[in-house]
């Protein structure tokens, strides 16, 4: 997520474990593709602490700590950021979400991290606020169809394969990273592996991540032709059943088909569905 602080400064947040890798790529592109740009990059990972306030009551909790930012959905829209004061601390507030719920990410100087945490927990106490870990976050994001780069993708996948064509425009006069690759014959093939959702017919069976996807359990060819594989698989508390995400050849056109996930000799029938299992219109995160 990249925010424009001013005309000369941008602030980019990544998953914490990927910060060094992202910085290395930015430096490589700068040196090899656009060395003429007057751009300098610095890692500020240890300069900031971030607390994500997530859920239907997150705006109410934050409003108890912040009086100089208009938190209404009309004034502070999804994917906006504001600078203000939270719990008496200078803070950058980002309205972004990896859970599909209303969410605010609060960024303060790292020395204030514990103070901010304690203030948020106190403000949300009567709402039964609770910390949540990465496993909960992974289930929430999978229910919403949000990907994890490197788990639901690999280096061969494009935004088109992930259903993210809305983020691209081949009509722009300027180049962007990957524009040339999107026009290659291999990249425009209709049978490329594409992101889909899977619903196991046995709602209690959680598919093994990495399970291979085949068209039929009766294939006699050795090795069997594999259509793709399961990338993420969880038991969804909200849906009360198992769900999975997978990359499948020609997946965009297979919605409604019955396929099979094979792991350890077991073939599990699955239905191909949209990769967005909950709130497909994004009404929660935009609320």
| pLDDT digits 0-9 by tens, 70-114 | 999 999 999 999 999 999 999 999 999 999 999 999 999 999 999
Per-residue confidence band for 35, with pLDDT thresholds at 50, 70 and 90 = very high
Per-residue confidence band for 253, with pLDDT thresholds at 50, 70 and 90 = very high
Per-residue confidence band for 180, with pLDDT thresholds at 50, 70 and 90 = confident
For residues 200-224, average pLDDT? 91
Per-residue pLDDT at 17 exceeds 90: no
Q: Is the pTM of this model over 0.85?
A: yes
CB 100 within 8 A of CB 285: yes
pLDDT digits (tens, 9 = 90+) for 147-160: 998 899 998 899 99
Per-residue pLDDT at 69 exceeds 90: yes
- Residue 259, burial from CB neighbour count under 10 angstroms (0-12, 13-18, 19+): buried
For residues 45-58, average pLDDT? 95
Strand 103-109 and strand 48-54: the pairing is antiparallel
Contacts of 146 (CB under 8 A, 6+ apart): 98, 100
Count of C-beta atoms within a 10 Å radius of residue 108: 22
Cα→Cα distances 140→132, 234, 245, Å: 11, 10, 13
Specify the pLDDT at position 119.
98
Specify the pLDDT at position 176.
79
């Amino acid at each position: 997520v990249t925010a424009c602080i001013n005309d000369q400064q941008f602030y980019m947040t990544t998953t914490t474990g990927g910060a060094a890798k992202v910085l290395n790529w930015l430096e490589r592109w700068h040196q090899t593709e656009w060395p003429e740009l007057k751009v300098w990059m610095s890692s500020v990972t240890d300069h900031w602490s971030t607390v994500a306030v997530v859920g239907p009551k997150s705006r109410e909790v934050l409003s108890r700590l912040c009086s100089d930012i208009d938190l209404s959905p009309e004034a502070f829209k999804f994917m906006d950021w504001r600078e203000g004061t939270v719990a008496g601390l200078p803070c950058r507030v980002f309205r972004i979400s990896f859970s599909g719920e209303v969410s605010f990410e609060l960024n303060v100087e790292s020395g204030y991290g514990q103070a901010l945490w304690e203030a948020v927990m106190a403000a949300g106490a009567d709402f039964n606020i609770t910390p949540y870990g990465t496993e909960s976050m992974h289930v929430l994001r999978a229910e919403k169809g949000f990907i994890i780069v490197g788990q639901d993708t690999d280096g061969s996948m494009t935004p088109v394969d992930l259903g993210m064509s809305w983020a691209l425009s081949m009509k722009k006069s300027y180049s962007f990273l990957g524009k040339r690759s999107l026009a290659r014959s291999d990249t425009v093939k209709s049978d490329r592996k594409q992101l889909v959702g899977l619903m196991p017919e046995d709602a209690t069976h959680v598919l093994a991540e990495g399970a291979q996807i085949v068209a039929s359990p009766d294939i006699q060819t050795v090795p069997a032709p594999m259509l793709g594989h399961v990338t993420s698989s969880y038991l969804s508390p909200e849906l009360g059943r198992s769900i999975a995400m997978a990359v499948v050849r020609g997946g965009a056109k297979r919605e409604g088909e019955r396929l099979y996930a094979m792991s350890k000799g077991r073939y599990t029938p699955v239905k191909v569905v949209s990769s967005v299992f909950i709130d497909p219109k994004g009404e929660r995160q935009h609320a």
